[in-house]
């Protein structure tokens, strides 16, 4: 039975590596836009610095445990990819954003990870190090999974899924499923528990996408019910007067009537002029 669950754990871990790799590649369109614009202004570096910090934490946790090769592999790839993203971002970032990103790197990577590494290594017993680091990873992962709530709130408020790509939500949900079963089968609840929350938020994001994906199109196709405004404010000789829809229609009728009368007068003048010319010609003959 243990061997059977071990095979399933390896299968889910391998699938988790594949799906997580796809998640790591999802920001490529964003960096292609940065490359075309030759600036990273308007984009945030926080997600990539946080992802780098998370990957480093999980690698440290995996080295304190046994049979965690699949965790080491995907997070090593994650560290490499996130480092490339951050370097690319810094290369095209304006001075202010470059300084902010460097400060964030110093706080999270140097100070944060360095403090966790030194404190757990020297202040915690060797037998408890894996548990302590595991709890730190668990809490940090929960915070990372809660972060998309601001995007969910924005989608509900604007009824637009512009800032919530469906494929990214799908891959994050699949990744949470794979790593939940992997952690469950190897009885590592520091891995399994955060992914329950990740799966829940992933399903919520996809449900919102399905609900609001056509909202923008429907609002654009919907025609206004009245082409004529209820009232118009006219400035005349320093005075403000308000015209209702009925008054506007009356004015339109009057203008059309005047234009018709002008046409009739012009026609009559032309006819009378033509008659006068004919009589003159006849008198000459």
* CA-wise closest residue to 49 among 29, 21, 78: 78
Q: Long-range contacts for 124-128 (Cβ within 8 Å, ≥24 apart)?
A: none
CA distances 202 to 167, 196, 197, Å, are 11, 10, 8
> How remote is the C-alpha of 259 from its chain's centroid?
56
pLDDT tens-digit map of 94-106? 999 999 999 999 9
Residue 20 CA to residue 23 CA, distance in Å, equals: 5
Encode the chain (285 residues) as per-residue pLDDT tens digits.
556 678 899 999 999 999 999 989 988 988 898 899 898 877 888 889 988 999 999 999 999 998 889 999 999 999 999 999 999 999 999 999 999 999 999 999 999 999 999 999 999 998 899 999 999 999 888 877 776 677 778 788 888 877 677 777 888 889 999 999 999 999 998 999 989 988 888 888 888 888 888 765 565 555 454 444 454 444 455 444 555 555 555 655 555 555 555 544 544 554 555 444 444 434 444
Q: What is the pLDDT of residues 1-34, one digit of tens each?
A: 556 678 899 999 999 999 999 989 988 988 898 8
Q: Domain extents for the chain?
A: 2-221, 231-284
Query: Distance of CA 257 to CAs 47, 199, 247, 250, 266, Å?
Result: 68, 70, 15, 11, 14
């Amino acid at each position: 039975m243990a061997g059977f669950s071990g095979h399933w754990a390896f299968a889910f871990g391998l699938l988790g590596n594949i799906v997580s790799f796809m998640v790591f590649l999802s920001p490529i369109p964003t960096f292609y836009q940065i490359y075309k614009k030759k600036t990273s202004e308007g984009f945030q570096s926080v997600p990539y610095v946080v992802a780098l910090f998370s990957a480093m934490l999980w690698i440290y946790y995996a080295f304190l445990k046994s049979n965690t090769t699949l965790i080491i592999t995907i997070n090593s790839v994650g560290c490499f990819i996130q480092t490339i993203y951050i370097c690319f971002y810094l290369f095209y970032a304006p001075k202010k954003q470059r300084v902010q990103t460097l400060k964030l790197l110093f706080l999270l990577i140097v100070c944060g990870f360095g403090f966790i590494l030194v404190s757990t290594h020297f202040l915690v017993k060797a037998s408890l190090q894996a548990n302590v680091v595991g709890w730190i990873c668990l809490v940090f992962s929960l915070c990372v999974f809660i972060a998309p709530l601001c995007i969910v709130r924005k989608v509900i408020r604007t009824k637009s899924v512009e800032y919530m790509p469906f494929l990214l939500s799908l891959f994050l949900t699949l990744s949470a499923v794979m790593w939940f079963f992997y952690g469950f089968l190897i009885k590592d609840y520091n891995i399994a528990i955060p992914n329950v929350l990740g799966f829940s938020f992933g399903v919520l994001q996809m449900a919102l996408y399905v609900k609001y994906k056509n909202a923008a199109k429907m609002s654009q196709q919907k025609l206004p019910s009245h082409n004529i405004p209820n009232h118009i404010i006219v400035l005349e000789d320093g005075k403000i007067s308000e015209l209702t829809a009925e008054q506007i229609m009356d004015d339109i009728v009057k203008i059309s009537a005047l234009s018709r009368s002008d046409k009739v007068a012009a026609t009559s003048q032309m006819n009378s002029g033509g008659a006068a010319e004919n009589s003159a010609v006849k008198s000459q003959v």
